[in-house]
Amino acid sequence: MIKTDWLRGCATALVTPFKLDGAVDEEALRRLIERQIVGGVRLLVPCGTTGESATMTEEEDQRVIAITVEVARGRARVIAGTGSNSTVDAIRYSQAARSLGVDGVMLVAPYYNKPTQEGLYAHFRAVAEAVQDLPVIIYNVPGRTGCNIAAQTTLRLAREVPNIVGIKEASGDFAQIMTILRERPNGFRVFSGDDSLALPLIALGADGLISVVSNEVPDLTSRMIDMALAGDWAAARQMHYRLLPLMEANFMESSPGPVKAALAMMGLIEERYRLPLVPVQEKTKARLREILTELGALKGVSHGAS
């Protein structure tokens, strides 16, 4: 297995800001990335679900990844979302990301196809073997893909494919995740894919969080994860409950709708989406505004909430 001592802690699944004309807002993206790094986040994940990659072109994906690598410039690691429900496309996206200088790639389970467990194994193995020198994280989010990566499939990949080094687990299935944690080979990383489950999963042995809420409050989220990994459970638990209302509000409607609305309230991006996503309802915005005010996140946002 590839050595990945750096693959630990709080990672942010970055939103992709758009302009009024629908184009990627590159300047806003640069500001968001800088804010993440200033806030203590050392792992950046562009072009995932939160980044609306499903409605972005291949060229836009590569541009967003290139900007993330450029702005991070050795201060943070970049793990690009390069998954697809087409294995051939996922290979091409992953090879392109490697050429742009990423530190790793993240592959979502193939959506819509509903492959068998053998099909999932073959898919991930084929992509990983096409980028053998690059760390690969698989991403299990059955609520989005309609397809669950079973624990034994994850463990088989972890044992048999040297550069498959971790999983982002967003199934919400504690029994499944605990099986992976208990039986994984040394060095295989497990990240929570759900903000609200990060603290209990780290208590069970997980290595960190790939987060939505850290888009809004990178410093608070990274601090919570660092405290949990250091075993400072009282402080981490206090921060968890402080952030829990925002974690929950971010999923009142389809993500990244609420988090983009929040970032727009904070003056960090324009509230623009790609159809079929549409702006969130006023009641959702009202709840977000209330929570952000309580957190102090609507004041002095350039370096994150404090």
Distances (CA, A) of 165 to 3, 40, 92: 8, 23, 20
Q: Which one-letter DSSP state was computed for residue 24?
A: B
CA 118 from chain centre, in angstroms, equals: 25
Cα–Cα distance, 258 to 232 (Å, whole number)? 30
Q: Residue 107 phi/psi, 5° resolution?
A: -115, 115
Cα–Cα distance, 184 to 152 (Å, whole number)? 10
Q: Which one-letter DSSP state was computed for residue 137?
A: E
| Helix, coil or strand: residue 36 | helix
Residue tagged active-site, from 121, 139, 260, 285: 139
Cα–Cα distance, 98 to 107 (Å, whole number)? 13
Is the CB of residue 112 less than 8 Å from the CB of residue 146?
Answer: yes
Q: Is 210 annotated among the ligand-binding residues?
A: yes
Query: Is position 168 annotated as part of the catalytic site?
Result: yes
Query: Is position 139 annotated as part of the catalytic site?
Result: yes
Residue tagged active-site, from 168, 260, 273, 285: 168
Q: Residue 29 phi/psi, 5° resolution?
A: -60, -45
| Helix, coil or strand: residue 254 | coil
Q: Is 145 annotated among the ligand-binding residues?
A: no
| Binding site listing for pyruvate | 50, 210
Binding-site residue ranges = 50, 210
- The residues that are catalytic are 139, 168
